Amino acid sequence: MIDGMVLSFPCIKVNNDLDILESNHAFKTWVGEEKEIKNVLELSNDYDVLKHNQRLLINDKFYDVYTNAVNNCFYLEFIENPYINVKGQVDSNILVGFVLIDNYAEVEENVEETRLPHLMAIIERKINDYFNNMGGIVRKFEKDKYIFVLNKDLLPELKETKFPIVEQISKIEIGNIPVTLSIGIGINGTSINEDMEFARGALDLALGRGGNQTVIKEADDKYQYFGGDGNEVIKNSRVRARVKAYGLIELILSASDVIVMGHKNPDLDSLGAAAGIYSIVRFYDKKCNIVLQKVTSSIKALYDRLVSDEKYDGVFITPEQALAKVKRRTLVIVVDTHRVMLCECPELLDKTSRIVVFDHHRKTSGAIENYSLTYHEAYASSTSEMVTEMLMYIKGVRLSRAEIEGLLAGITVDTKNFAFKTGIKTFEAAAFLKKNGADTISVRRLFKSSFDAYMAKTEIVRTAEIIFDNMAISELDREVENPSVLIAQAADELLSIDGIEVSYVLCKVGNRICISARSLGKVNVQKLMEKLGGGGHQAGAAAQLENVSMEDARELLENKIEEYIEETN
């Protein structure tokens, strides 16, 4: 009996409906003898019986509530925490974060064995000096990882100076390989432990955005980004792809069936990667479907080639059909996006806990989190390249010519004919596909557009205006099929004009204004588009603005460009 227990803190016994069955004297004194509380939810609507430990605001004070299940009932203990402030956070002046040498493996491979200790000593001294000079503590806990603790009052100064240690380390070059750092910081958590979890998440996000930058994460998934204007850290190690391939096989074998989906308004990279994944799943004799809401003009040629093969009968399904098919053991594989809102069927992610994500875009907020496996490489040219690389390690998979050429088309479209974001592995993937029967002329036919689309693209280029000396901006002012793809192609065309380093093209789709941005590298258009709620890569990004006119959207874009220029100068 709780009533007979001598406990200094409030304690109650509740049933499955959270009705209070018993309470001790401390609880009655706490709530007031004259006040009758019948259910826990009367104290706080935020109470969750499934959580063993939670922090709740009750009568303007925060309490740590501990729940223990005993004989079909629950015992709750309410412990007042005097160190919690009005925001539900532990009062602390500590700032905690992690530092990672992004490309340690590449540096280790390319530096002479006798010179490596000297190089690492230089890096370690610079990191130690940077944090020690601010009165902080920094400790190395792995060969490429550090943890640091600083006074939180220094954070405004760190933001103002944009964490110069990242740039200092990037100036250290051995041969042609610059050493790069990423920093993850967590703030405003309910405790220092939560701040450390935020810091780990921030570091993962920094790596997903290409490394060589600092990310600060706080409660409610709010992020701040510093740096990251340089090219993504190129990694040529094949170990990661092999490990991910084997992990994917294990998940496929343990699943009842597989559903693959890309992003809304799919392109050749999205569909090509999905077809590559489909071939892997089929090899292991599992039922597989691909979610596709609409066949747009940009993928129609590849789609027609795929469905002409009888093995694709009934493979493509709508989001509604996917939701009806999904089961508890269904494996959902997402390709060419990592953001929930951009998935072809976001609701599908809530129907299963078995989720795999393959993407090459720089990581941003709103990412899929409850995954079983993720292969996220911001340095990769395309998701098709990543899937092709995994196919190299899965012996025996036979791809149709349409699947092979779909993968090569995906690489081609995202690299702009192998001009952007190409690394050693990009050409190795293309060579593998060519060796297995890809015909480059046949791939070229997948890019054909209609006469009206070509004329619209020509008009966009003809009416472009020059702003800020080296930037071109234009608009699509006519009705065409798949306008978001067309403006991306037009933005690419504008970069071929002498003196143009950056291009922006806008179009209206329903009640939204779509913006496509392209860069030759001097301007990080991903960071610029993030100011408008979008994202992408350093050289190619996009954003969408809802319920605004074309004039207002253009004015807002130009204001953000000015803001970006001021920040980077």
- DSSP letters, 360-417, are -SPP-SSB--S-SEEEE-TTSS-HHHHHHHHHTTSTT----HHHHHHHHHHHHHHTTT
- Residue in 215, 240, 305 with CA at minimum distance from that of residue 103: 240
Residues of CATH 3.10.310.30 domain(s) within the chain?
451-568
What pLDDT sits at residue 251?
A: 94
Average model confidence (pLDDT) across the chain: 90
What CA–CA distances, in Å, run from 472 to 292, 300, 416, 466, 530?
Answer: 34, 30, 18, 5, 19
Q: Binning pLDDT at 50, 70 and 90, where does residue 4 land?
A: low
Distances (CA, A) of 117 to 123, 124, 125: 10, 10, 12
Most confident range (mean pLDDT) of 50-54, 204-208, 270-274 is 270-274
**pLDDT (mean) for 230-237:** 56
**Which residue intervals of 136-186 are DSSP H helices?**
155-161, 164-170
Q: What does the pLDDT read at residue 238?
A: 63
CATH class of segment(s) 451-568: alpha beta
CA distance 438 to 417: 15
CA distance 309 to 297: 20
Q: Which of 12-16, 57-61, 457-461 has the lowest mean pLDDT?
A: 57-61
pLDDT digits (tens, 9 = 90+) for 49-90: 989 989 888 888 889 899 999 888 999 999 987 777 777 777
Contact of 362 with 210, CB cutoff 8 Å: yes
CB 423 within 8 A of CB 415: no
Average pLDDT for 543-564: 94
Least confident of 67-76, 167-176, 231-240, 282-291: 231-240
Share of the chain above pLDDT 90, in %: 63
Q: Which two tokens stand for residue 93?
A: 């002046």
Q: Answer whether residue 234 shows pLDDT above 60.
A: no
Q: Give 316-342 pLDDT, tens digit per residue.
A: 999 999 999 999 999 999 999 999 999
All residues at 6 or more sequence positions from 412 whose CB lies less than 8 Å from its CB, including other chains: 268, 418, 443, 447
Tokens 């009996």 — which residue?
Answer: 1
Local confidence band at 161 (pLDDT 50, 70, 90 cut-offs): very high
Residue 230 has pLDDT above 60, yes or no: no
Alpha-carbon span 285 to 278, nearest angstrom = 11
Cα–Cα distance, 222 to 205 (Å, whole number): 12
User: Would you give the distance in Å from CA 337 to the centre of its chain?
Assistant: 8
Q: How far apart are CA 326 and CA 18, in angstroms?
A: 33
Beta strand spans in 71-162 (E): 73-80, 94-101, 137-142, 145-151
Count of positions (residues) in the chain: 569
The pLDDT, as a whole number, for residue 457 is 93
DSSP labels, 460-494: HHHT-EEETTTEEEEE--S--SSHHHHHHHHHHHH
Fold of 94-227: Alpha-Beta Plaits (3.30.70)
Residue in the structure block whose two tokens are 């003809």: 462
Q: What pLDDT score does 233 carry? A: 52
pLDDT recorded at residue 145: 95
Pick from 109-113, 276-280, 289-293: least confident: 109-113
For CATH 3.30.450.20, the residue range(s) in the chain are 2-80
Mean pLDDT check: name the lowest of 249-263, 404-418, 479-493, 549-563.
479-493
Q: Count other C-beta atoms under 10 Å from residue 78's C-beta.
A: 19
What top-level class would CATH report for the domain 239-445? alpha beta
Q: What is the pLDDT of residues 491-525, one digit of tens each?
A: 999 999 999 999 999 999 888 999 999 999 889 89
* CATH 3.90.1640.10 residue spans of the chain: 239-445
Give the per-residue pLDDT at 114. Answer: 82
Q: Which top CATH class is 2-80?
A: alpha beta
Give the Cα separation of 88 and 16 in Å (integer): 27
Residue-level pLDDT at 262: 96
The pLDDT confidence band at residue 8, using thresholds 50, 70 and 90, is: confident
The conformational region for residue 60 under phi > 0 = left, psi -120 to 50 = alpha, else beta, is left
Sheet strand arrangement including 20-23: 20-23, 11-14, 73-80, 61-70, 53-58
Confidence of residue 1 (pLDDT cuts 50, 70, 90): low
184 pLDDT higher than 70: yes
| Residue 325: strand, helix, or coil | helix
- What is the mean predicted confidence (pLDDT) over 163-181? 83
Q: What mean pLDDT do residues 263-286 have?
A: 95
